[in-house]
A and B are shown apart, each in its own frame.
Chain A
Amino acid sequence: MRSTEQAPPTAQNPTKFDIALRGGRVAFNATDIFHDLDLTLQAGSFTCLLGPSGVGKSTLLRYFAGLVEGDVSGTITCSDNIPLAGRVAYMAQQDLLLPWRTVHENVVLGAVLRGEKPKHDKASHLLSEVGLADAAHLRPAELSGGMKQRAALARTLMEDRPVVLMDEPFSALDPLNRLRLQELAARVLRGKTVLLVTHDPLEALRLGDRVHVLSGSPARLQDAITPKGQSPRNIAVPDILAQQAELLGQLGAEPSEGAA
């Protein structure tokens, strides 16, 4: 990693409100994906959502983003009594970079889409922070997978929203790039309220302050597992490995498979 990527001592502009989902329900084709679902995202904390494929993790995340249409009920309230809508930034597994815009132009997309004047200095600063200063003028097709996801992270940070929703943002990367991006994300998102969907228990334990498993049909949330220490955590310590075994157990693995 670059030597400049050191954790800042304190978070900038930390998020100060909790978000509470109560009685969340989403159904597709008359089948409930989940119902009676309660989840609280604590102010400035990093929550990870684990679960088998197709269980509804992404749907729950998209519910928070206000992107689920159709048969939906439940309430989302923020402790500061301001609606959540308009205060979230969204990052998906695909980089979702627009191929006709350069990296820099992609990073300032939000302002352009709102008809605001883009803050080009801030975009350049964020791009150098994610290690893409030299690639700002390139189009996405000229970037590697890791660089694209860095650009997507810079675009997410550019929005400067108090809440960041991430849907398996690192799962398409090779292990080394994934590790680097996890470290980067942990550093730059510190102080924000983050909800991260992942299928990797170690990623969840590395980054999450609270790790929930979502499983079953209709899906239910298990009680949170709370790894100790500040993220990004060293995942080679016994505590974390024990919690990984616990998570694998909750995900339905046989004890012999999940034992660390």
Chain B
Amino acid sequence: MTHQINHQTKSKPLSERRWLMLARPLIIVVALIATWQVLVIVTGAPKYMLPTPADVWTTLIARHDVLFDHAQYTIAETVIGLFAGAALGTLAAIPMALFSPVRFWLMPILLVSQAIPFFALAPLLVLWLGFGLASKIAMAALIIFFPVTVAFFDGLSRTETGWLDLGRTMGASRWRLLTHIRLPAALPAFASGFRVATAVAPIGAVIGEWVGSSHGLGYLMLHANARVQIDMVFACLLILCAFSITQYFIVDRVLRAALPWQPDSLKPAQ
């Protein structure tokens, strides 16, 4: 018999698509900067309220040593917080999916934890864990914990029942059903939660820095704002944006590469 193996349809030549893929972010960035410049000209805003892109660029170059120094702290807090939060979320989701008593006790606690405004929690964390990295990592981890736990738990509790039936007739233990069927089947859901977490992780770190710190982009922004160095505030924001986007794309790439079997209906449009 003939093997009907699906191939991606190639509507455009590869070189043309690749060109567009590389050019698209550049076009977006240029358009955003142009809009920003037009806004400055149209509103006539003074530099201490809305600096021009050129002002911010000058600050980025001139103060790059300070910015780089503080950015390192924020990036470290975010990345460590991301992995700590994801690890905690994983550790919470698996027993919740496996044992119903754990689920019944932990779910309300999780929901209550979400009712607490995290911004209000930041001063407490600083009080308990100090001005250093620990309180910011805790803040980022706390924000990440919920989306990862909920997404992973959801994935674990929606295993195709046919797979579990098959596994049972094959004589699988509960543990092997988990490690060989339920966990891999829940990985796409975990990946969705982790992507969301990646996007919100820097927020946690920056909130922590605002409330009490001696380092980091949040700290730098707060002080620059107080001294009406708005170009510095914008420079910090730009670095945060660039870092968030880079981190998101790296995570997205890694997750896609790790789960090549995951159905992806958007792929041919890239």
Contact = CB atoms under 8 A, between A and B. Distances in A.
Interface of A: 2, 62, 65-67, 86, 88-90, 92, 94, 96, 98-100, 109-110, 112-115, 131, 134-135, 138-139, 141-144, 146-147, 159, 165, 180
A110 B171 contact: yes
Contact of A144 (B4, B167, B261, B263): B4
A90 B259 contact: no
B169 interface: yes
Given A113-B177, A114-B170, A134-B3, A90 B261 contact: no
A197 B160 CA distance: 21
A113 B160 CA distance: 16
A100 B259 contact: yes
Contacts of A66: 168-169
Contact of B160 (A96, A134, A143): A96
A65 B162 CA distance: 13
A142 B6 contact: yes
Contacts of A67: 165, 168-169
A34 to B, nearest CB: 20
B158 interface: no
A230 B262 CA distance: 44
A65 B173 CA distance: 16
Interface string B99-142: 00000000000000000000000000000000000000000000
Interface in B1-23: 1, 3-6
Contacts of B187: 100
A140 B181 CA distance: 15
Given A134-B3, A147-B4, A99 B168 contact: no
Contact of B165 (A86, A92, A134): A92
Contact of B169 (A90, A139, A180): A90
Interface string B174-205: 00110011001101000000000000000000
A129 to B, nearest CB: 13
Given A65-B165, A100-B259, 9 more contacts: A2-B1, A92-B162, A96-B160, A113-B171, A113-B172, A134-B3, A141-B6, A144-B3, A147-B3
Contacts of B168: 66-67
A110 B162 contact: no
Contacts of B260: 139
Contacts of B4: 143-144, 147
22 contacts: A65-B165, A67-B169, A88-B169, A98-B184, A99-B262, A100-B187, A100-B259, A100-B261, A110-B171, A112-B176, A113-B173, A113-B180, A113-B181, A114-B171, A131-B1, A141-B261, A142-B6, A143-B3, A147-B3, A159-B170, A165-B169, A180-B1
B261 A96 contact: no
A98 B170 contact: no
B170 A94 contact: no
A131 B4 CA distance: 13
Interface residues of B, number: 29
Contacts of B170: 109-110, 113-114, 159
A208 B1 CA distance: 26
B163 interface: yes
B1 A90 contact: no
A141 B264 CA distance: 11
Indicate the member of A2, A98, A142 with the most B CB atoms within 10 Å. A98
A171 to B, nearest CB: 15
A144 B6 CA distance: 9
B232 to A, nearest CB: 48
B77 to A, nearest CB: 34
A231 B171 CA distance: 31
Q: Which 9 A-B pairs rank lowest in CB-CB distance, beginning with the nearest?
A: A113-B172, A90-B169, A110-B170, A144-B4, A100-B261, A99-B261, A96-B162, A113-B170, A96-B166
Given A113-B180, A134-B3, A147-B3, A98 B163 contact: yes
B1 A98 contact: no
A143 B4 CA distance: 7
A252 to B, nearest CB: 29
B5 A138 contact: yes
A89 B171 contact: no
B263 A141 contact: yes
Contact of A113 (B165, B167, B184, B261): B167
Contacts of B185: 98
Contacts of B173: 113, 115
B118 to A, nearest CB: 35
A69 B162 CA distance: 14
Nearest to A113: B172
